[in-house]
């Protein structure tokens, strides 16, 4: 339970952070001391002035006394009746001696007061020097325990076992949860910044607090019950820095649940070293909240879309998503006006972004219409694809007049559906097909592919649009590199569907914007859609099968038969893509 500041991201989920163990408190204490030192400096100047004045006063009194003594020791010639004058000199000398002693005592008090000021200032300087030596802002490397990327600002930290011992982790960051919360996270404070009483109390209570009010522990998963979504954990042996006392009541804990991103126990495997939070600081409420190091991201669920029960309708799995590899029967939502093939939909932030093609072409992003092209202006097949941060659309427009060449319009929207920019490419060369045959959202760019039919041979024309608004276009003549509808991009790779020699189709894997791919899946029947995430590839066939493959081995894991016996599109949430795939 502590506080840190993100300095930089070393890789997704791993950061350089600056621990804050009381920097503000230390700096405030130093500032207070500096203010006191300024006061002591003024007091010292006043003391010096006072001493100088008192010394002058004393010197004057001593001179007066000496003058009287000299007068008494060298009296003038006596005159008749001078006895009273002699007596007056003696009295004046006695009075002068008293004045000298009074002035001397006053000066002595002023000197002692100055010495006190000097000692107090020296003590303050020593205290300030000691505070300046207290390290409150140590820089370390730390994992975010659930691997959340792109964290910035102040974050909460998890220390095991409630002390700043390595490794220190950043608290789970999914959906902004890592942001520092003083009430939840508290703050580690170095003991030299505490009063003596507080420091003694903390040191005395530390091992008991660690034993009976636990916060976090490390452990290794020894068994997982997938039906109950619980696990057993062997806790790491843990001792307090106070007298090396054992502070774990036992080595094993059972029936432990997980709270991790949005997949909870699904991401964990036996043998994983994990961070366990003791909720309410109770041994009876353990919760796995992340990994000790190298956290894994959740395997994303798949969404699919098929033809609906009536003409002009479609069904897509919005609520009950496909969780690989089991491929459980998903719930579906029906909608109208979406053609369930090609690249008419994508998912961003868990919400549908889709082209509705009826008499008009209408792009709806997260429930709000963003583009509505009607009449003779609408032509060809539009597409929509998304990067991690943005949603991109592509559609063709004509003026409706004979001989009009038309234009391709690209629109970029942010995660909330606000238009960022519109890019128009006029077809002055009259060789682009009106249909978008390929649309692939990668981490920071989208690729739109058109077949070029200018010379009756056909080749690939490819537009690459980057999140910063730049665009490149390239032609690849002489071969049919044009994909069939239904591919998918993820991270820094993409899947394209191509016709194969047997009259069916095959899936090719491409890196980045390259047009050279490798055939990885040939299922032996028509493919209508495909998508991938970290661990799995799912394809949709024309006969209504959803087939799940292991992404590494490409072995088929399971098949789900869609009751409607129809193929369609498959995708995942683009906003959840990793930086690389």
pLDDT tens digits for range 462-490: 899 999 999 998 887 655 567 888 889 99
Query: Quick one: tokens of 184?
Result: 């939840």
pLDDT at 455: 44
What's the domain range around 530?
Answer: 303-576
356 is a domain residue = yes
Within this chain, do residues 344 and 473 fall inside the same structural domain, yes or no? yes
Average of per-residue pLDDT across 51-58: 94
Question: What is the distance between the alpha carbons of residues 433 and 412, in angstroms, rounded to a whole number?
Answer: 22
Asked if residue 249 lies in contact with residue 286, where contact means CB atoms within 8 angstroms, the answer is no
Name, of 134-138, 288-292, 392-396, 572-576, the range with top average pLDDT. 288-292
For the chain, how many structural domains are there in total?
3
Asked if residue 559 lies in contact with residue 540, where contact means CB atoms within 8 angstroms, the answer is no
What's 345's domain CATH number?
2.120.10.30
Pick the last residue of a domain from 78, 100, 132: 132
pLDDT tens digits for range 506-530: 999 999 999 888 999 998 888 888 9
Within this chain, do residues 118 and 232 fall inside the same structural domain, yes or no? no
Question: What is the distance between the alpha carbons of residues 169 and 539, in angstroms, rounded to a whole number?
Answer: 38
297 is a domain residue = no
Within this chain, do residues 147 and 60 fall inside the same structural domain, yes or no? no
Whether the bond between 6 and the residue before it is cis, its omega within 30 degrees of 0, is no
Q: Measuring CA to CA, which residue among 154, 139, 158 is closest to residue 2? A: 158
Q: Which pLDDT band holds residue 307 (cuts at 50, 70, 90)? A: low
Question: What is the distance between the alpha carbons of residues 53 and 419, in angstroms, rounded to a whole number?
Answer: 79
Number of other residues whose CB lies within 10 A of the CB of residue 392 = 26
> Is the pLDDT confidence value at 189 over 50?
yes
Which residues, 6 or more positions from 540, have their beta carbon under 8 angstroms from its beta carbon? Answer: 304, 306, 486, 527, 528, 529, 530, 546, 562, 567, 568, 569, 570
Pick the last residue of a domain from 93, 111, 132: 132
Strand partners, 358: none
Which residues, 6 or more positions from 1, have their beta carbon under 8 angstroms from its beta carbon? Answer: 156, 157, 158, 159, 162, 185, 186, 187, 188, 215
> Is the pLDDT confidence value at 25 over 50?
yes
Place of tokens 């649309």: 439
Q: What's the pTM value of the predicted model, to 2 decimals?
A: 0.65
Query: Quick one: tokens of 186?
Result: 């508290």
Q: Which pLDDT band holds residue 268 (cuts at 50, 70, 90)? A: very high
Q: In what order do the strands lie in the sheet with 545-550?
A: 527-532, 536-541, 545-550, 556-561
Question: What is the distance between the alpha carbons of residues 31 and 38, in angstroms, rounded to a whole number?
Answer: 11
pLDDT tens digits for range 366-378: 889 999 887 656 6
Number of other residues whose CB lies within 10 A of the CB of residue 403 = 6
238 is a domain residue = yes
pLDDT tens digits for range 354-363: 888 777 788 9
Q: Are strands 345-348 and 368-373 parallel, antiparallel or unpaired?
A: unpaired
DSSP, collapsed to helix, strand or coil, labels residue 77 as coil
> Is the pLDDT confidence value at 116 over 80?
yes
pLDDT tens digits for range 408-428: 899 999 999 999 999 988 776
């Amino acid at each position: 339970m502590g506080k840190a500041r993100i300095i930089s991201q070393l890789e997704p989920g791993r950061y350089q952070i600056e621990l804050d163990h009381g920097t503000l408190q230390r700096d405030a204490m130093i500032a207070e001391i500096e203010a006191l030192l300024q006061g002591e400096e003024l007091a010292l100047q006043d003391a010096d002035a006072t001493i100088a004045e008192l010394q002058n006063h004393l010197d004057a009194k001593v001179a007066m006394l000496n003058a009287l003594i000299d007068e008494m020791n060298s009296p003038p010639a006596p005159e008749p009746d001078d006895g009273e004058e002699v007596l007056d000199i003696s009295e004046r000398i006695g009075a002068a001696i008293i004045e000298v002693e009074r002035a001397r005592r006053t000066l002595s008090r002023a000197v002692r007061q100055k010495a006190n000021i000097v000692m107090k200032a020296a003590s303050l300087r020593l205290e300030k020097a000691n505070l300046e030596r207290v390290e409150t802002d140590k820089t370390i490397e730390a994992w975010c325990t659930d691997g959340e990327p792109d964290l910035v600002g102040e974050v909460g930290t998890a220390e095991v076992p409630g002390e700043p011992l390595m490794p220190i982790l950043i608290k789970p960051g999914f959906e902004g949860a890592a942001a520092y919360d003083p009430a939840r996270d508290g703050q580690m404070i170095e003991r030299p910044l505490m009063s003596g009483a507080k420091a003694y109390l903390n040191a005395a209570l530390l091992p008991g607090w660690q034993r009976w009010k636990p916060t976090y522990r490390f452990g290794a998963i020894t068994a997982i019950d997938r039906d109950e979504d619980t696990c057993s954990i062997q806790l790491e042996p843990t001792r307090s820095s106070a007298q090396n006392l054992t502070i774990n009541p036992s080595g094993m804990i059972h029936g432990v649940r997980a709270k991790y991103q949005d997949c909870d126990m699904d991401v964990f495997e036996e043998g994983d070293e994990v961070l366990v939070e003791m909720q309410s600081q109770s041994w009876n409420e353990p919760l796995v909240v992340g990994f000790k190091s190298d956290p894994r991201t959740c395997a994303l669920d798949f969404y699919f879309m098929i033809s609906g029960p009536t003409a002009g309708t479609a069904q897509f799995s919005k609520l009950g998503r496909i969780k690989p590899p089991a491929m459980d029967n998903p719930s579906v939502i029906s909608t109208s006006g979406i053609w369930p093939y090609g690249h008419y939909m994508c998912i961003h932030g868990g919400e549908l972004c889709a082209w509705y093609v009826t008499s008009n072409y209408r792009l709806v992003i997260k429930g709000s219409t963003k583009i509505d092209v009607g009449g003779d202006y609408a032509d060809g097949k539009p597409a929509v694809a998304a990067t991690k941060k943005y949603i991109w659309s592509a559609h063709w427009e004509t003026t409706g007049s004979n001989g009009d060449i038309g234009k391709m319009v690209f629109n970029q929207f942010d995660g909330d559906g606000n238009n960022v920019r519109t890019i128009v490419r006029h077809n002055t060369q009259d060789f682009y097909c009106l249909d978008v045959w390929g649309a692939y959202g990668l981490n920071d760019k989208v690729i739109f592919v058109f077949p070029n039919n200018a010379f009756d041979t056909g080749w690939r024309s490819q537009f690459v649009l980057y999140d910063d608004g730049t665009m490149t276009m390239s032609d690849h003549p002489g071969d049919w590199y044009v994909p069939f509808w239904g591919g998918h991009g993820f991270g820094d790779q993409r899947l394209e569907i191509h016709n194969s020699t047997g009259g069916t189709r095959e899936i090719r894997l491409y890196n980045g914007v390259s047009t050279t791919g490798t055939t990885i899946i040939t299922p032996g029947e028509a493919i209508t859609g495909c998508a991938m995430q970290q661990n799995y590839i799912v394809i949709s066939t024309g006969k209504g099968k959803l087939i799940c493959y292991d992404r590494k081995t490409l072995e088929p894991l399971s098949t789900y038969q869609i009751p409607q016996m129809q193929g369609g599109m498959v995708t995942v949430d683009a906003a959840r893509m990793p930086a690389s795939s």
